[in-house]
Structure 1
Amino acid sequence: MTAAVPLQAIPIADSPYVIVFGSLYLLLVLAIGAWGYMQTESTSDFLITGKSIGTWVLALTAFSVIQSGFGFVGGPELVYSFGTTSLWIFFTAPLGFLVAWALLAKRMRILADIRDVLTLPDGMYVRYESQWVRGLTAVAVVVGVIAYLATNLAALQYVMRAIFGIPVTWGLLVGALILLLYSMLGGMIAGVWTDFVQALTMIVGSVLVFAFALSFGGGMENISRNLATADPALISPFGALGTPEQAVFVALGWWILFSIGSAGQPHLITKFYMSRNLKILRWGAPIAACTYAVSSLLAFSTGLSMRAMVEAGEVAAPQNASVVGPVFVLEYTPGVVAGLILAALLAAIMSTSDSFLNIGAAAVSRDIPRALGRPIEDDRTELRVTQVALAGMTVLSVLVVAASDTLVGILGTIGWGFFAAAFFAVAALGLNWKAATKEGAIAAIVGGLAVNLFYSALPRVADALGMVALRDAVLGLYPFPESFPVGTVALLVAIALFVGVSLLTGARARNAVPADIAALIER
């Protein structure tokens, strides 16, 4: 999940501990990148770490790329705005790890052994034996990565400003340069270990902030009393989602998006290629789910405590709900804790950006050329082209952030739901159902993305262009309550198309699946 944008109201830290922790983290990032460079000898090393990571590293890496900056920025914003109602997201997200592990972990790891696969489009080509599926998957990866990367860099510039007190433009340039250096040097090896460090930091920091936030709010009893006095809906599991019937319907939509949709996130599921062996996959899901739940204590406690104290008139309301987490940490916790958490936020943004950069660059250098029938045959050349593509995507994302906040906001609508709709059906269902066909995969990718772009991005584009009538017309066509996530609709449409078209075109699909892939699906 990405951090929310905008973050302009984050104050500049005045504690030396914040600068110390931030500086140490950036030095650590560069050191990990240099170490990763010495470990990288092939494209396989660069993209999937040579299948070398163990249980705890895999699990904590998976948790950290999903949590990202959301736990520190987007999470407190949701809790502050909607109270306990927003906990539907936090309760359902950990289940996503169980779904992803159950449907994909073993199969994707075996796939990396029996076939030459390094990327998600590689795996989908092997499954469906279709360059169209490979190409569409690669294009969807590139579009999603640019969107995610732009929103992460937009957040990064303000985090750099908060830590070091530098202008946001310099924060963007310096942060992007450090990200580029360690990504180009170390590839996924550097990213995995940075994710691991981030995960440990976030877990420790979340527990500390949870304790300070409860104390700040006067304990849960006082927090609940203040919220209930202001608005009983803030302490209801469904209160901020409309009527009871509508609330259950919307809550179900969020559950589907964040639990089932996890198995469509390429930056998560490609981690399964990297595991040392099948045995280490056994405990990965519960470890990732539990650590995610612990890290969510930060969002839960800061959002509720800040809202309760604002409603009680004890503190001033923040300029923007998106800065509730950073403001609380910077103003109401000791400097050591603030430094630790801001370093974790910096780590979250940069390590997740590194994961996106690697899968996006691989799509440009490996998957799209192969889909077009022009593969790069030499491994060293492919590695260098991947690194150049990585640099190009970083520069493009920096230009997007520098050029327009509106464009960043439009791209920000292409996120979790975009990937869930594009990849859940073709990957999670396709590797478990022999009757799935390439026609079903193509229909699912195109249909899911079309719904997502039409209802999410198009209204933002129309609004930016002053085409209010078009925006209202598109929004008027949305058949569900406004609070029901578009990503869920796109995901369900993709699943329906995948199953329906596969059944229509799959008379010989069972026999058409290669023997080794059929055996994998049956495991």
Structure 2
Amino acid sequence: MVIKILLLIVFFAVMIGVGVYSRKNATDVNGFLLGGRAVGPWLTAFAYGTSYFSAVVFIGYAGQFGWKFGLSSTWIGLGNAFIGSLLAWVLMGRRTRVMTHHLDAKTMPDFFGKRYDSNALRITAAAIAFIFLIPYTASLYKGLSTLFGLAFNIPYVWCVIGMAVLTAVYVILGGYMATAINDFIQGIIMLGGIIAVIAAVLNDQGGFLSAIKKLADISPDPSVAAAPLKDMHGMFASFFGPDPLSLLGVIILTSLGTWGLPQMVGKFYSIKSEKAVKTGAVVSTFFAVIISGGCYFLGGFGRLFDNPAIHGANGKMLYDSIVPQMLTTLPDVLIGVVVVLVLSASMSTLSSLVLTSSSTLTLDMLKLTCMKKTDEKKTVFVMRIFIVFFIALSVIIALNPPTFIAQLMGYSWGALAGSFLAPFLYGLFSKKITKASVWVNFIWGVGITVAFTILPRVGVKVPPSLNPINVGAIAMVGGLIIVPLVSLFTPKMDKAKMDEVFACYDEKVQVEKKMYLKEED
């Protein structure tokens, strides 16, 4: 216990120290929110990765989907790495940095307002972001509390309050730069921690091959497996698992979803140079392979730890208890490392979410209405006030959350990415995307998520396949079809305005020969 407490004290001291150190970079809006658009490649890559993965992945998703899909859940982690990280950086990193700098857009709603020449779109996008980031934030507390209860026997409410206060302190002090530096430190902890935990858990099962053999002996539940696979042996140790279609839905939601999340895309706004794009793509992909791939790989062995502690009184699975149950046999020191690991993952994501939400509310709603003449210093002060407000609101929700972390995550990602992904992505590449198509997509993304959240609660029978995860995936993929389709039949944007917006891509720059070879020399 002494070692675990010492680890936490050192961790807390470092986080607050970084916040104090970063105060000098947080004196104006650009510095507080974007680190002056001069954040290096490693900090940016780790900020992206640590904002991506949190207790939601380690506790909630790894437990639930590892239980349902077995070792095939590792595909989710690989999808996160190569679609959610590598492809996102390659397709969006450079273009996002160039266009947002050209438009002087500091947030995703700000981008929508300036790219599509509509303050109404900007305000609406800000409202969607603010509302649906809250359940995501609440899910972080819930995952962390389970582990704290295991390691310290601390009541849930104190876990929530402690994490909220610590995160608020360093984000308010140092803004984005404090978040980025702490994300780097937290990312290193996460990398070492997940490798140690996987090795210890597999060793407890007699090694990798022994664990695989035990898993292969378990037959899939009829309620989980796809119809043709219900009676097949060894499904939980197979390549695609017992339900490949549902597995694909999770991969789409958790991988493609990052392309439309404000707190993720915002990392590209602060990229410093071309080198940062290339290094960031490689580093963030490697980070995702280890962290996300490792979490889902670990969760895939969850059924080997089946016992009454992970089953509720009514017979329902307590998915959020699966991974903590896997850790109960670990030495105390390693449990302390796991606690710091999950705390790191959760706080890095929480800091990113509260910074995104407070800046969105301040810059994209209040600045356009009642704070038009407010100077930079007062604007930063208001953003700090809203960081406190946002954290307090998420704490209130976290104290009375839904049953499973995955539900909270699915609602948030579905609405946000379903609304924002398509108009943001297409808006970076095409002048033909219309304002009307963005409105339609906002209605689609929010509408389908809210509808399938409410329908089961008013007595409407919804097929089990239309759960928050799959509905979120449908919202995203549907948006990629809706936006270009609606743009074909709605009024085009002003040509002169679009030429001015896209002029940033035509600017000539000089590069060294090692970067480019001419056709003829």
User: 1:236 maps to which residue?
Assistant: 238
Asked whether the 8 Å contact 1:435–1:509 carries over to 2, the reply is: no
Superposed, which structure 2 residues align to 1:54-453 within 5 Å? 54-77=40-63, 78-95=65-82, 96-231=84-219, 232-241=234-243, 247=244, 249-296=245-292, 298-308=294-304, 310=306, 318-319=310-311, 320-329=318-327, 331-372=328-369, 375-403=372-400, 405=402, 411-453=408-450
Asked whether the 8 Å contact 1:253–1:488 carries over to 2, the reply is: yes
1:120-156 Cα offsets, whole Å, 9 max, x none, are 1112222111112211211111012211122223334
Amino acid at match of 1:87: T
Amino acid at match of 2:122: R
User: 2:227 maps to which residue?
Assistant: none
Q: Distance in 1 between matches of 2:41 and 2:383?
A: 28
Superposed, which structure 2 residues align to 1:3-82 within 5 Å? 15-77=1-63, 78-82=65-69
Q: Secondary structure at the match of 2:430?
A: coil
CA deviation after TM superposition for structure 1 residue 192, in Å: 1.2
CA deviation after TM superposition for structure 1 residue 444, in Å: 1.0
Structure 2: gaps of 5 or more residues: 220-233, 312-317, 509-521
Q: Which of residues 479, 482, 489 in structure 2 aligns to 1:504?
A: 489
Amino acid at match of 1:428: L
Q: Secondary structure at the match of 2:242?
A: helix
Q: Distance in 2 between matches of 1:510 and 1:503?
A: 15
1:90-136 Cα offsets, whole Å, 9 max, x none, are 22111211222122211221134323221111122221111122112
Asked whether the 8 Å contact 1:30–1:182 carries over to 2, the reply is: yes
Q: Distance in 2 between matches of 1:339 and 1:264?
A: 34
Q: Distance in 1 between matches of 2:492 and 2:402?
A: 49
Cα 1:240/1:487, change in 2 over 3 Å:
same
Asked whether the 8 Å contact 1:60–1:288 carries over to 2, the reply is: yes
CA deviation after TM superposition for structure 1 residue 261, in Å: 2.4
Cα 1:273/1:287, change in 2 over 3 Å:
same
Q: Distance in 2 between matches of 1:373 and 1:495?
A: 35
Structure 1: gaps of 5 or more residues: 1-14, 242-246
Amino acid at match of 1:383: V
Cα 1:182/1:267, change in 2 over 3 Å:
same
Asked whether the 8 Å contact 1:61–1:195 carries over to 2, the reply is: yes
Amino acid at match of 2:277: L
Cα 1:304/1:424, change in 2 over 3 Å:
closer
CA deviation after TM superposition for structure 1 residue 353, in Å: 0.8
Asked whether the 8 Å contact 2:198–2:294 carries over to 1, the reply is: yes
Amino acid at match of 2:279: W
Q: Distance in 1 between matches of 2:293 and 2:86?
A: 20
Q: Distance in 1 between matches of 2:492 and 2:15?
A: 52
Asked whether the 8 Å contact 1:57–1:196 carries over to 2, the reply is: yes
Q: Distance in 1 between matches of 2:235 and 2:406?
A: 29
Count matched residues: 486
Q: Distance in 1 between matches of 2:469 and 2:173?
A: 42
Q: Secondary structure at the match of 1:41?
A: coil
Asked whether the 8 Å contact 2:102–2:504 carries over to 1, the reply is: no
Asked whether the 8 Å contact 1:217–1:309 carries over to 2, the reply is: no
Q: Distance in 2 between matches of 1:139 and 1:361?
A: 11
Cα-Cα RMSD = 2.7
CA deviation after TM superposition for structure 1 residue 256, in Å: 3.0
CA deviation after TM superposition for structure 1 residue 359, in Å: 0.7
Cα 1:369/1:458, change in 2 over 3 Å:
same
CA deviation after TM superposition for structure 1 residue 206, in Å: 1.4
Asked whether the 8 Å contact 1:99–1:263 carries over to 2, the reply is: no
Cα 1:333/1:157, change in 2 over 3 Å:
closer
Could you tell me the percent identity over the aligned residues? 24
Cα 1:375/1:498, change in 2 over 3 Å:
farther
